[in-house]
């Protein structure tokens, strides 16, 4: 059966992700909140940390539930929690209320909403997994570029509380429509065969490894550590972007533009590197991007006073960050199969959640201790070097293509 309308998975995932991805624009709200309540940078930086931890931790739970109720229900719940958390955050008058709404509730919505587009897309397009995952996750990153500048304008005109309410209503419509369009392919669905043009590669075998087997493999832990260390630079810059840009002498309008540039960079990395990994291999793409991140992150701090260099290097840092989210998703499907992708990648995604704690912590505490971000950016480059060392230890698992195949081929 090849008449299945699998394109609806792309449209539904796009509508869902462009709304959810706006959480990346958190830093645009930081100046207004700190000005009104007198909160410190460390206190406000905990909000995106909670979001990322909740996303990573609820992702596994959402995967277990989705196996029983399907992707539509999980996506709808995620969109509801995200929109409701944003709405209730508009009534916050304390850090605790902000952490509970924009942090716990919105983060739970992220975990439940982020999962369905990835799994449904991978099942509908197993022949182009890198490209499709890159598209879905790229749109997630683009959300902050679309709605971040809009939020900045609205904050100046109607205030941050009303801005939260406007976005909550808009995102509820986006996420409910997207959830309705998400549907797994039928059991007898078979895509048109497509041979990959990877360097020295053969078509990937279809092998599904259970989560209990995955966690017993050293390969999983090498990937987990590399994922955590490699994405720390991105999470640190994202959590501090607008304050960092303002400390570099950029105006409020220019700093808001930095959110858009970063979102374009992250979305580009997720999409183009996802496509590139289909042709040149996942590990090759990851290793090359980690090297680029090691160079671009400290240079971003060094050249922060030069606007054009600042934006160019910011694009590269976000590109490297976005690439990892896209390629690791496809890599999990390649190495461990798609049947248990929700839980297998969910455990791997906890590494990104760890980076969500480590990155903002490094950025905020270094700033409080030294008054600038120099050591934070240099330290992130060092962590990227350690991630590269871990990736050098990773080798693809060997899988049998078919019972009559005389020797195994690399996944």
- The confidence score (pLDDT) of residue 127 equals 65
Residue 271 has pLDDT above 70, yes or no: yes
Tell me which range, 135-144, 227-236, 381-390, is most confidently predicted by mean pLDDT: 381-390
Going from N- to C-terminal start, the domains of the chain cover: 7-183+211-397
Compute the Cα dihedral for 21, 22, 25, 30 and give only its sign: negative
Residue 336, both tokens: 């461990």
- The confidence score (pLDDT) of residue 129 equals 66
Q: Which residues contact 404 (CB under 8 A, 6 or more apart)?
A: none
- The confidence score (pLDDT) of residue 251 equals 77
Q: Three-class SS of residue 297?
A: helix
Residue 400 has pLDDT above 70, yes or no: no
Residue 404, both tokens: 């009559």
Residue 28 in contact with residue 148, Cβ under 8 Å?
Answer: yes
Q: 131-140, 199-208, 301-310: lowest mean pLDDT where?
A: 199-208
Residue 230 has pLDDT above 50, yes or no: yes
Annotation: CATH topology of 7-183+211-397 = Growth Hormone; Chain: A; (1.20.1250)
Confidence of residue 241 (pLDDT cuts 50, 70, 90): confident
Residue 199 has pLDDT above 60, yes or no: no
d(CA 239, CA 315) in angstroms, rounded, equals 15
- The mean pLDDT of 208-237, rounded to a whole number, is 89
d(CA 37, CA 246) in angstroms, rounded, equals 19
- The confidence score (pLDDT) of residue 256 equals 72
- The mean pLDDT of 34-49, rounded to a whole number, is 86
d(CA 327, CA 95) in angstroms, rounded, equals 35
Residue 290 in contact with residue 381, Cβ under 8 Å?
Answer: no
**DSSP classification of residue 127:** G
Residue 39 has pLDDT above 60, yes or no: yes
For the chain, first and last CA: distance in Å? Answer: 26
Confidence of residue 411 (pLDDT cuts 50, 70, 90): very low
- Tell which wins on pLDDT, 81 or 186: 81
- The confidence score (pLDDT) of residue 165 equals 95
d(CA 30, CA 243) in angstroms, rounded, equals 8
The whole-chain average pLDDT of the chain stands at 82
d(CA 331, CA 410) in angstroms, rounded, equals 13
- The confidence score (pLDDT) of residue 196 equals 46
- Tell which wins on pLDDT, 137 or 405: 137
- The mean pLDDT of 198-217, rounded to a whole number, is 68
The full DSSP string for 326-343 is HHHHHHHHHHH-STTHHH
Residue 160 has pLDDT above 50, yes or no: yes
Confidence of residue 4 (pLDDT cuts 50, 70, 90): low
Strands (E), 169-279: none
């Amino acid at each position: 059966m090849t008449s299945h309308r699998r394109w609806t998975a792309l449209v539904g995932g796009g509508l869902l992700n462009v709304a959810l991805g706006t959480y990346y624009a958190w830093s645009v709200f930081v100046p207004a909140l700190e000005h009104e309540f007198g909160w410190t940078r460390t206190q406000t930086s905990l909000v995106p940390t909670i979001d990322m931890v909740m996303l990573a931790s609820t992702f596994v739970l959402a995967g277990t539930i989705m196996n029983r109720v399907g992707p539509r229900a999980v996506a709808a719940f995620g969109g509801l929690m995200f929109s409701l958390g944003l709405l209730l955050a508009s009534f916050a008058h304390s850090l605790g209320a902000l952490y509970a709404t924009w942090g716990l509730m919105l983060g739970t919505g992220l975990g439940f909403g982020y999962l369905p587009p990835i799994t449904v897309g991978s099942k509908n397009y197993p022949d182009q997994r890198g490209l499709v995952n890159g598209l879905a996750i790229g749109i997630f990153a683009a959300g902050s570029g679309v709605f971040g500048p809009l939020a900045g304008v609205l904050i100046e005109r109607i205030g941050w509380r009303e801005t939260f309410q406007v976005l909550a209503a808009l995102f509820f419509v986006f996420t409910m429509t997207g959830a309705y369009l998400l549907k797994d392919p039928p059991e007898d669905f078979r895509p048109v065969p497509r041979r990959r043009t990877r360097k020295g590669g053969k078509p990937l075998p279809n092998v599904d490894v259970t989560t209990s087997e995955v966690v017993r493999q050293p390969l999983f832990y090498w990937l987990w550590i590399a994922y955590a260390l490699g994405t720390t630079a991105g999470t640190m810059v994202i959590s501090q972007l607008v304050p960092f840009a303002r400390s570099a002498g950029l105006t409020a309008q220019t700093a808001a533009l930095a959110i858009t540039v970063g979102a374009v960079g992250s979305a580009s990395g997720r999409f183009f590197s996802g496509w590139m990994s289909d042709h040149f291999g996942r590990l090759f793409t990851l290793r090359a991007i980690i090297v680029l991140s090691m160079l671009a992150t400290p240079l971003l701090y060094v050249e922060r006073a030069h606007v054009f260099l600042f934006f160019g290097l910011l694009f590269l840092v976000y590109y490297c960050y976005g690439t990892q989210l896209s390629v690791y998703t496809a890599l999990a499907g390649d190495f461990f199969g798609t049947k248990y992708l929700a839980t297998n990648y969910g455990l791997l995604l906890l590494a990104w959640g760890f980076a969500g704690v480590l990155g903002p912590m490094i950025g905020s505490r270094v700033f409080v201790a030294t008054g600038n971000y120099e050591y934070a950016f240099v330290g992130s480059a060092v962590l990227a070097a350690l991630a590269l060392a871990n990736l050098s230890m990773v080798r693809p698992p060997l899988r049998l293509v078919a019972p009559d195949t005389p020797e195994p081929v690399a996944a």
